[in-house]
Amino acid sequence: MSGFRNTADAINAIAEQSRKVHKLYAGARFRAAILTEYSPTFLTGSVMFCPEEVPSRPSATYGTLLFVEQWQSDQTEALDLLSELLSGQGEIAEQKVRPGFTYSSFDHRPFAYGNRGWSGWEMRSRCETRPTDHEQPLNYGAIVGFGLRPYLGAEQAINDWIFDTATDNNSNGVPSRNELVTFLPDTRARIVSALWTPGKLSLSTEINVPSEHIELQIIHAQSARLPQTTQVNGGASEVKVPDDARELLLYLMHKSGDCTMQVQLRSVYESFGRVPEDLIAKNRAESDLGKGEGDQIEFKPFISPNDPKETEIVDTVIAFANTSGGRIYVGVNDRDASPQGMKELWKALRGAGNKALAAQAERLRWLITNRIVPTPRFSVEEIRAFDHPMVTITIESGSTTHYERGSNEVWVRRGASNERPKPGEMQGLFEKNAFLP
């Protein structure tokens, strides 16, 4: 890490690094969050140099919290505007950003920046503050404005608007308060998305230099297998990974010795980037079908409305909710875990035609919400696995009550079976109710 106590040195560091990228940036996107309750006060901001032009959003006013954004085309002109901002003379979307910035730190960042998914080089510039700057608190509670996206709190709004980072934080804090964060992406190569499922790593990469200049290195933490190195050509690919790995560390290495990007996956089914939801569901289903039924997995065929097997579905949902949660795959033969296919779906849901899968999913939702008391937390998805349609019901384990069908129709999961609770288990389930209001 390098530190600079004057604007000229900070700009020179940014300019020098920008000349080392494999091609010039199209410009930079400037953003700032400003508090307007008294005199306009800079809270935080970001500058993102971009390989392609990014249209600016109009300013957004949330009460006394103002967000502004400006696109500055051309790499040289963007550097000039950044220099003006750091010296306290610049504006973003006609909003002055004062006072100036007195200290900047500059460092390589191999992890992705925000939701745009680039690694690169980051400079954090800290602005001069006045005593009154710390005396202007943000409003508590939701951040809302007419015609604007609502947020749980100021911190969530600032993370999204300024740093392209999604959070669920509802505090009124200010991330990187009194700092302007400048980022230069390393556009040579990046991992766009990654999904780890048992035995397999599904990747999407973007390579903007000759592919022979980039290699992917993977460390399988706590595995008996040695790390592996493979070449990536860009686009979608799959890599086999050992089953005994407990963590995956991914590195895109350039022939110069630079790490252009690093990604850490801490557990199976963890993903990075914007992995399509249907890919996650497909890979999970294919893995579950390969493992067979058990404590948290159940297979059921497609079921016609009012078929007696609907009761089996309900009882399994109750058992999973009363135990450790689980997934039910509807449209799968429980004898051999093979998908039934479209013909069996149409046979079970006669009259539904091409909407048969949606009709099956809707019927399952109705069963859970109308025949189980209280309704557990669940989700129903229409998916394709092994190129066949099926429906997945995912049930969360209940923590504050027990679940039942009718009068005392209570079940728990034991192995691959639904069973009545033993006396001790029953007492534990009913004791959960003691904490309910």
Among 185, 218, 245, where does a domain finish? 185
Distance of CA 217 to the CA centre of its chain: 23
Confidence at 275, pLDDT banded by 50, 70, 90: confident
More confident residue, 114 or 242: 242
Predicted pLDDT of residue 295: 95
Q: What is the DSSP string of 226-256?
A: PPEEEE--SEEEEEE--TT-SEEEEEEEETT
User: Is residue 406 domain-shared with residue 332, that is, in the same domain?
Assistant: yes
Query: What's the domain count of the chain?
Result: 3
Among 251, 275, 299, where does a domain finish? 275
- Residue that the structure tokens 């409003």 belong to: 139
Which tokens is 269 given?
């089914």
Residue 182's DSSP bridge partners are: 47, 123
User: Is residue 163 domain-shared with residue 193, that is, in the same domain?
Assistant: no
CA angle 245, 248, 251 (to 5 degrees): 145
User: Is residue 13 domain-shared with residue 89, that is, in the same domain?
Assistant: yes
Give the pLDDT confidence of 134-147 residue by residue, as tens digits: 455 676 788 999 99
Predicted pLDDT of residue 140: 73
Lowest mean pLDDT among 101-115, 156-170, 180-194: 101-115
Predicted pLDDT of residue 436: 39
Predicted pLDDT of residue 397: 94
Residue 262's DSSP bridge partners are: 251
- Residue that the structure tokens 């493992």 belong to: 291
Percent of the chain residues topping a pLDDT of 90: 68
Residue type at position 224 = A
Which tokens is 358 given?
């949606």
User: Residue 145: which domain range?
Assistant: 2-185
Predicted pLDDT of residue 18: 85
Q: Is the pLDDT of residue 437 over 50?
A: no
User: Is residue 225 domain-shared with residue 293, that is, in the same domain?
Assistant: no
Beta 297-300 vs 326-330: how paired, if at all?
parallel
Q: Is the pLDDT of residue 428 over 80?
A: no
User: Is residue 288 domain-shared with residue 429, that is, in the same domain?
Assistant: yes
Confidence at 365, pLDDT banded by 50, 70, 90: very high
Give the pLDDT confidence of 278-304 residue by residue, as tens digits: 888 999 999 999 999 999 999 999 999
Determine the straight-line distance between the first and last CA of the chain, rounded to whole angstroms: 54
The rounded distance, in Å, linking the Cα atoms of 356 and 337 is 21
CATH assignment at residue 370: 3.30.950
The rounded distance, in Å, linking the Cα atoms of 303 and 47 is 55
User: Is residue 238 domain-shared with residue 287, that is, in the same domain?
Assistant: no
Confidence at 432, pLDDT banded by 50, 70, 90: low
Report in angstroms the alpha-carbon separations of 93 from 36, 68, 398.
15, 6, 50
User: Is residue 173 domain-shared with residue 193, that is, in the same domain?
Assistant: no
User: Is residue 18 domain-shared with residue 157, that is, in the same domain?
Assistant: yes
Quick one: average pLDDT of 115-143?
75
Among 142, 166, 185, where does a domain finish? 185
Give the pLDDT confidence of 224-259 residue by residue, as tens digits: 999 999 988 999 999 999 999 999 999 999 999 999
User: Is residue 378 domain-shared with residue 269, that is, in the same domain?
Assistant: no
User: Is residue 329 domain-shared with residue 217, that is, in the same domain?
Assistant: no
SS3 282: helix
CATH assignment at residue 269: 2.60.40.10
Predicted pLDDT of residue 407: 66
User: Is residue 225 domain-shared with residue 344, that is, in the same domain?
Assistant: no
Q: Is the pLDDT of residue 161 over 50?
A: yes
The rounded distance, in Å, linking the Cα atoms of 161 and 61 is 12
- Residue that the structure tokens 């709004």 belong to: 157
Predicted pLDDT of residue 132: 52
Give the pLDDT confidence of 1-53 residue by residue, as tens digits: 677 777 788 888 888 888 888 889 999 999 999 998 878 889 999 999 999 99
Quick one: average pLDDT of 267-275?
89
User: Is residue 271 domain-shared with residue 260, that is, in the same domain?
Assistant: yes
